[in-house]
Amino acid sequence: MANIVLETPRLLLRQWCDDDLGQMLEHINTPGVKKHLNGVVPPDQVATNLQRMRDNFDELGFAFLAVERKADGLFLGSAGFAIIETPAAPALLQGAVQIGWQLRVDAQGQGYATEAASHLLAHGFTRHNWPIIYSQTSESNRPSWRVMQRLGMTRRAELDYADDVFPTEDNPTMIWSVSQEEFVQK
């Protein structure tokens, strides 16, 4: 089993292991999960992305992590941090830290994303001492931005941007943020 990074009441957030590729292909690289994330990608791209997350954790000390349900070890998806590198993003966002999540369809709507992300935010502010953490979604992905609202994030419309990598219905990219100070006050 891979190293556990965070534990919540219902979840384990852990580093990736070799067995996770099959789980990602079966449960995350699906039309239902990737609907607002530019669609399903070829298996070799999933493998490359998984290796990049493993490398990022080793090099940076953070990345997207595997999410498991504690009660039965069920693989639910991923949640974690990444550096914003999207060329279309405004200069203020370039190199900034973002939080995100993607959960298998049968795990959505049960509070897992909010639970994982709230613990991740606390971890990011205490362990990494980041002053602000951003999140990105599209207006059409209402469940995602509702999680952002529950996390106490603030809508940052002045930072929204069009990303031609995504289809029209998923543009513009909506930006949300929460500062360390705002999060601590929660």
The pLDDT tens digits of the residues spanning 72-103 come to 999 999 999 999 999 999 999 999 999 999 99
pTM assigned to the model: 0.93
Average of per-residue pLDDT across 100-111: 94
For residue 1, pLDDT over 80 is answered with no
Distance (Å, whole) CA 129 – CA 84: 17
Percent of the chain exceeding pLDDT 90 equals: 74
- The pLDDT value recorded for residue 24 is 86
* Strand spans (E) along the chain: 4-7, 11-14, 64-69, 75-83, 97-103, 132-138, 154-155, 173-179
Distance (Å, whole) CA 26 – CA 7: 24
